[in-house]
Structure 1
């Protein structure tokens, strides 16, 4: 079994015959499994943690290949279960959830607009967030050049301050925000009704990829080769500064990896994508 991050609170899971795949590469993740008494611990031998695992998969063999994280995880699972099917991130949305999303749009009088999703938050930390004023700039350009467009701002409870900042001074009849109050399942349904999404490196970015949604993903402190969206329809923006990727939650200097991705730099590509989507509507 592959345990969630909150596995230490899962008191109802029997450990007797549990087989655990330690997906994260950190020492801490293997130590937590060992300390928790999980008997069959399998993982990559990274960060000097091999002695904490029952079965160690050679990490050095893959380390230099610069593969997507999902490939590392698949290889780890195949070391136990043998060859597995190719990865398919396709995600479908139940009809009832889409109906709830349409109700949300009707409430905001946006059901007939060309919807562009904006996801400015990032659970990982502020370093992954494109500046709110940059998002506001892009939203203004979309609304000015596309009279038929509407903007859906996505946020969780902890980062709704960002969407509120972006929404300020924007026309309320063309901008709607989940404001951290819409459950994840309904947010996914709402995202599926969008025609395009602009997002940080985040869970919502991966959901957009799994939905087959075209969009733009903005990377700074993380590595798009390792954790980029799947699905093949997302444009990746990553400015090559020397300190990136650093994988820090908070930038200790000037956040140059994200601030170098100015609206002027990415807007031509976004505009081109939106124009193409308009033509096939």
Structure 2
């Protein structure tokens, strides 16, 4: 197997959790070239994966078929003569491109109307008994061969590399702002899923104030996408525009965010893509869970501490609290997270 294509998931956290699959494929086929077709949003994750030969970026949009774009990509990919394609999203539209490109083996989970488009398939696990996402993706590597494939170490965890260009860009930004990364806590207040994954901004503010009070050299960088900027600004305003707090949401690329997380003292985040990046970089972190299940999507790092109340109503996996109180997040107090941070080893 000399040429493998991966159709990437559409979410940052999911993309991070595919890295052990890439490592497994490289172990099975050491001479292979592994290329990844990814949306612009998640492409930086694959640029940080050492197994990847080329990242092919595409301007995919959520819930859009984009037939013309998919036909054009299929035509370009057909000339590369891939032998196998792993289609990691479950959608019908994600399976169109490798089928149009006449890639012989198209591997994935059975999904919506994909019969024939995927010709080596596994049944999707039930929502009640879902395995951890890393294992979910890894299972696909066994479909190519009847022989026993070489296996990775038990409990494989994602690993990312930081590009030298992104490292340099972040170092310049930090120097310009007179911030020492060794004394910097990165806070990630956003979560694309919605409010049931977002710890309250007032709690983030109180935690930031406690960290600054504990050491005047501590700095707080609020990190996230442009859509998280307003949340971060709430934290900054509630802290009375403390000079130790910096709102970088929307002003860094994902490549730069990866670099910043890698050099920071610790990360405090919701269950989000940035949480999984911190885990893959083995940065000390406190990961706050509300409506989601830490057994299914935990931060896979010995330097991560999960904070989850495990209430009778959780995990509910709802975007809006069905009971109206959001206790799964509101009742995680800043003092508890501060105490957890003190136990982390740099």
Fold conserved between structures, TM > 0.5:
yes
State yes or no: 1:272 paired with 2:333: no
Q: State which drifts further: 108-117 or 12-21.
A: 12-21
Classify the secondary structure of the residue corresponding to 1:224. coil
CA shift for structure 1 position 267: 2.6
Match for residue 308 of structure 2? 238
Give the counterpart of 1:72 among 136, 154, 157. Answer: 136
CA shift for structure 1 position 89: 2.1
Q: Aligned pairs, how many?
A: 270
Q: Distance in 2 between matches of 1:257 and 1:148?
A: 32
Q: Deviations over 1:155-207 (max 9, x none)?
A: 21111101111112345432222131111111211122211110011111111
Contact 1:130 1:258 in 2 (8 A): yes
Q: Deviations over 1:139-168 (max 9, x none)?
A: 111011122211111021111101111112
Classify the secondary structure of the residue corresponding to 1:225. coil
Classify the secondary structure of the residue corresponding to 1:197. strand
Match for residue 138 of structure 1? 207
Q: Distance in 2 between matches of 1:243 and 1:185?
A: 37
CA shift for structure 1 position 22: 4.0
Classify the secondary structure of the residue corresponding to 2:321. coil
Q: Distance in 2 between matches of 1:33 and 1:272?
A: 43
Q: Deviations over 1:101-123 (max 9, x none)?
A: 12211222223761111011112
Contact 1:113 1:150 in 2 (8 A): no
Give the counterpart of 1:229 among 299, 303, 309. Answer: 299
**CA distance change for structure 1 residues 69 and 113 in 2, over 3 Å: closer, same or farther?**
closer
Match for residue 180 of structure 2? 111
Gaps of 5+ in 2: 11-38, 40-59, 61-65
State yes or no: 1:55 paired with 2:125: no
Contact 1:68 1:227 in 2 (8 A): yes
Gaps of 5+ in 1: none
Q: State which drifts further: 216-225 or 55-64.
A: 55-64
Q: Distance in 2 between matches of 1:62 and 1:167?
A: 39
**CA distance change for structure 1 residues 150 and 170 in 2, over 3 Å: closer, same or farther?**
farther
State yes or no: 1:209 paired with 2:270: no
State yes or no: 1:248 paired with 2:318: yes
**CA distance change for structure 1 residues 63 and 76 in 2, over 3 Å: closer, same or farther?**
farther
Match for residue 25 of structure 2? none
Give the counterpart of 1:43 among 108, 113, 129. Answer: 108
**CA distance change for structure 1 residues 263 and 77 in 2, over 3 Å: closer, same or farther?**
same
When the two structures are superposed, what TM-score results if normalisation uses the length of structure 2? 0.68
RMSD: 3.0
Q: Output aligned runs, 1:258-269, within 5 Å.
A: 258-269=329-340
**CA distance change for structure 1 residues 47 and 236 in 2, over 3 Å: closer, same or farther?**
farther
CA shift for structure 1 position 36: 6.5
Match for residue 218 of structure 1? 288
Match for residue 261 of structure 2? 191
CA shift for structure 1 position 136: 0.6
State yes or no: 1:2 paired with 2:19: no
